[in-house]
Structure 1
Amino acid sequence: MRQDSHLQRRIEQKLDTRRQQKLLRNVSAFHHQDGKLFDTDNQPYVNFSGNDYLGLAHDPSVIKAWQDGLEQFGAGSTASPLVTGFTRAHQHLEHTLCDWLGFERALLFNSGFSANQAVIFSLLEKQDVLLQDKLNHASLMEAGMLCDAKMQRFPHNNINKLKSLLQANEQTPARFVVTEGVFSMDGDLSPLAEIRAACDEHDAWLMVDDAHGVGVLGDEGQGSAHLANVKPDILVVTFGKAFGMMGAAVLCSEQVHDYFTQFARHYVYSTAMPPAQAHALSHTLSMIRTQSWRREKLSALSDCFHNELKNCTEVVDTITPIKPVVLGDVEKMQLVASNLKKDGFLTGAIRPPTVPVNTARLRITLSVNQSETQVKDLAVLLRRCIEEGE
C-alpha cells in the first residue's frame, strides 16, 4: 500500500475527524454463556444492547432444530434459489410465513438490508417517486438514494406532510411509500392505519419494514401491521431480531413474487440461505406463534423499566422492547454507558451519524433472557448516573 497516495491520506483524515469528534466506532468480541455476555477479558455483562427480544438465539430447541437441519440438508444451499439452492426447507418456511402473516407469497433473503434494497431497486423507475419517513433504516435510505426514482422524505410520522407529498406527486406514474413498523432507534410505532388510508386515497403502494415489530407485536407476534389492522402491499420481516437468527423475507402478492424472481438481483444472484437455517426458522416461527408468554414477559419487563424511571425525561416511554435514553451530548452518553458497564450492564451507545446530531443516546433493549431484578437494578443505576451528570 502506498502511504503517500491521495486515497490513503483521505482515509487517515476521515478517521482522524471521527476520533476528534469522539464518534469512532469499534468492534468488540464477546461470547455467550448461561444468559450473559463475556468480553475477551472474561468479564460478564447483562446484555441490554442486543435485539434478541424473545430470547430465542440460545434456546436449546432452536439449536437442536438447526442441528437437525444440518443432518437433513447439509451445511449450505450451494446455489441461488433459481438454480438449485431452493429446497423443501425453504418452501416450507415461505408457506408458513404466508399463513402466519396473511400474504400469497414470500421470498427469502440473507439479510434485511438486501431485502429492502431488492424491493426498491427492482420496482421503481426514473419517473416514479419514493416517499420515506426521515427516520427509516440506512438500508432503505441508501436504496432510495441509489435507485432511479425521485426520493422525497417526510418528517417522522408526519401524516399531513405525507399527504401533501402524495398530492403533489399525483401525476407521477407510481408513488411508493416506505416506513418502518417500529423504528429501531426510537422504539416508537408508525401510524400505519393513517398511512394506509393516505396511500389508498392517492393510489400509492405501501411497504412496511417490520424488522423490530415482527415476533413482538400482535396476537401471535405478527407485528405492527397486524396490530394496526393494516395490510401493506409489501411487508419485510427479518430474522435477526425476535427470531434470534438471521435473514429476511419479503411478503407480497403472487404477481409481485413472480416479478421479483425475474428482476430482483439481490434474490436472483445471491446464494440462498442454508436450508438448515430455513428449517430452524420454521421451528422458531412455531415457537413465536404459540409461546405468548414470551411477549407477556416483555410487557412485564417494560412496565418494570418505566415504573423505576418515572419522571426521568431522558427516557422515552415505548411499548416495544426498545427503550431510548436520549442524553444529547456524545461525551455524556459515553460516560453513562461506561458507568453502567462498570457495574456489569452492557447498553447500546448510539451516536451520530446513526442518530441526528445532539440526540446521542443509550439504546437499551429488553429481552426475555433478563429478569425483573436485573431490569430494576439497571434502572436504579441509570437514574443515579443521569442525576449525577446533571
Structure 2
Amino acid sequence: MKGFEYLQEELDQMKEEGTFRTLVSIESEQGSKVVINGKEVIQLSSNNYLGLTTHPRLKQAALQAVNEYGAGTGSVRTIAGTFSMHDELEKKLAKFKHTEAALVFQSGFTTNQGVLSSILTNQDVVISDALNHASIIDGIRLTKAARKVYKHVDMNDLEKALQETQQYRKRIIVTDGVFSMDGNIAPLPQIVELAEKYDALVMVDDAHASGVLGENGRGTVNHFNLDGRVHIQVGTLSKAVGVLGGYIASTQTLIDYLIHKGRPFLFSTSHPPAVTAACIEAVDVLLEEPELIEKLWDNTEFFKEGLQKLGFQTGTSETPITPIFVGGESLAHQFSDKLLEYGVFAQGIAFPTVERGKARVRTIVTAQHSRDELEKALEIFEKAGKELGILR
C-alpha cells in the first residue's frame, strides 16, 4: 500500500546511522534474570526496582481479584467503573503519601497529561526543568498556558523565570523527583523555598522515586521532609510498585476537580480488578517489607562503585538509575548488543530520548539481584567496554 514512503525514508536513514532498533521480546517473568532468544541473561534494564512484579503477595492478590470480580470493570470510573477496591487503593495511596486525597489514572504518562491540561489556562504559566520527562512535556503542550523552561536543576535560572512571570494568575513549577535518564535527584528543598518566596505551586513527578526514596519509598517529598509543602505529587504504579498505572496525591479540592475535568480519567476504562488489587497489596508490601528498599540501595552502591572503578563515566547519578555515557548513538547500541551477546540485557538510550552526543547504556539495579549476578555483570561490562574502546 502506498502512502508511507516518507516514513520509510526516515526509517532507512535510521538504519544507515545505526539507530534503528527492534523490540526485544522477553520470554520469562521479569526478574533479576530473564530469557531472551532462548538464553538466560542478567536483566539491568527494567524499572522493577523491588522485584514486586513477581512478589507472591501481589500475584495472589491479583488471582483472587480475578476470581471474585472478573477480568475487567466494563466502564469508566465516572459511569459504572468505580469498584470499592478503587476507593480503597486511593485512600491507601493518600495515607501513604501524607496527603488529603489521591486519584489513580491509567498510567503515569496520562496522569501528567491529565493534571496539567486540566488545571492551567491562558492566564497561567508553567515553569519546567529542561530535562523533565516526555509526559510532562506533552502535558504542557496540551495546555493553553504560557511556558518557561529553566536550565536543568539550575536554581538561579528558576528564580529568574519566577521573577519574569509574576503577572500570571498562577505559576506552577514542574520537576521530576528523580530524572529518569541521568539518575540524579531534583534539588527539591530549594525549589520549594523559591516557590514559597514567589507564591508559586510545585508539582513533582516521583515516578522513579516512589518505592525508592523516602520512608518506605514515599518519594522525594518525604525524603526531603517536605510533606505538606508540595502541592502536587505524581507517581506511577508500574515501576517500583510493580504493576500498572499512575496517581496524583494532593488536596481533596484538586482531586474533586480532576474527577470532573481530567480527560484521561474521564474517558478511560478503569483498572481491572487484578491490577487494582495487586497495587493495594504492593503498598502494604512497601510498609511491611522495608528490607527490600535496603537491599536495593546496597546493590546500587556496590554496582555503581564497580562501574566507576572500571573507568566508566556515570555522570551525576545518585540513585539505582546509573547511565554509562559513551557519546555516539551508534556506539551506545553496539555496546548494548555486545553486552547482550555476553549475558547482560542493558538497553542503549540515544536521540531522540536524550540529546545527540549524550547516548548511553542505562542500567537499573534492583533488590532482586544477587551479589554474584552483579559481579558477573561488571565482568561483562569490562569485557564489552574494552572490546569497543570505551574502556582503555
Q: TM-score higher than 0.5 here? A: yes
2:61 and 2:133 map into 1 onto residues whose CA distance is: 31
Residues 19 and 333, structure 2, Cα contact 8 Å, conserved in 1: no
Shifted more, 315-324 versus 101-110: the winner is: 315-324
Equivalent residue, structure 1, for 2:336: 337
Residue 117 in 1 paired to residue 117 in 2?
no
Equivalent residue, structure 1, for 2:33: 36
What does residue range 7-86 of structure 1 map to in structure 2 within 5 Å? 8-33=4-29, 35-39=32-36, 41-86=37-82
Residue 184 in 1 paired to residue 176 in 2?
no
Residues 14 and 20, structure 2, Cα contact 8 Å, conserved in 1: yes
User: Which of 238, 243, 246 is matched with 1:245 structurally?
Assistant: 243
Equivalent residue, structure 1, for 2:378: 379
Q: Secondary structure at the match of 2:355?
A: coil
Q: Percent identity?
A: 30
1:309 and 1:10 map into 2 onto residues whose CA distance is: 42
TM-score normalized with structure 1 length: 0.95
CA shift, 1:51, in A, is: 0.4
Residues 304 and 376, structure 1, Cα contact 8 Å, conserved in 2: no
What does residue range 201-280 of structure 1 map to in structure 2 within 5 Å? 201-230=197-226, 231-280=229-278
Aligned alpha-carbon RMSD (Å): 1.5
1:126 and 1:16 map into 2 onto residues whose CA distance is: 41
1:130 and 1:228 map into 2 onto residues whose CA distance is: 23
Return 5+ residue gaps in structure 1 as ranges: none
Q: Deviations over 1:93-129 (max 9, x none)?
A: 1111111111111111110111100001001101211
Residues 196 and 206, structure 1, Cα contact 8 Å, conserved in 2: yes
Equivalent residue, structure 1, for 2:124: 128
Equivalent residue, structure 2, for 1:353: 352
Residues 333 and 349, structure 1, Cα contact 8 Å, conserved in 2: yes
Q: Secondary structure at the match of 2:104?
A: strand
Q: Secondary structure at the match of 1:83?
A: coil
CA shift, 1:332, in A, is: 2.2
Count of residue pairs the alignment pairs up: 385
CA shift, 1:35, in A, is: 4.9
Q: Secondary structure at the match of 1:318?
A: coil
Equivalent residue, structure 2, for 1:88: 84
TM-score normalized with structure 2 length: 0.95
Return 5+ residue gaps in structure 2 as ranges: none
Residues 322 and 363, structure 2, Cα contact 8 Å, conserved in 1: yes
CA shift, 1:36, in A, is: 2.6
Q: Secondary structure at the match of 1:32?
A: coil
Residues 181 and 213, structure 1, Cα contact 8 Å, conserved in 2: yes
Query: Given the superposition, is the C-alpha separation of residues 217 and 314 from structure 1 closer, same or farther in structure 2, using an over 3 Å criterion?
Result: same
Equivalent residue, structure 2, for 1:200: 196
Query: Given the superposition, is the C-alpha separation of residues 317 and 387 from structure 1 closer, same or farther in structure 2, using an over 3 Å criterion?
Result: farther
Residues 89 and 276, structure 1, Cα contact 8 Å, conserved in 2: no
What does residue range 96-111 of structure 1 map to in structure 2 within 5 Å? 96-111=92-107
Residues 94 and 108, structure 1, Cα contact 8 Å, conserved in 2: yes
Residues 335 and 348, structure 2, Cα contact 8 Å, conserved in 1: no
2:32 and 2:332 map into 1 onto residues whose CA distance is: 26
Residues 62 and 277, structure 2, Cα contact 8 Å, conserved in 1: yes
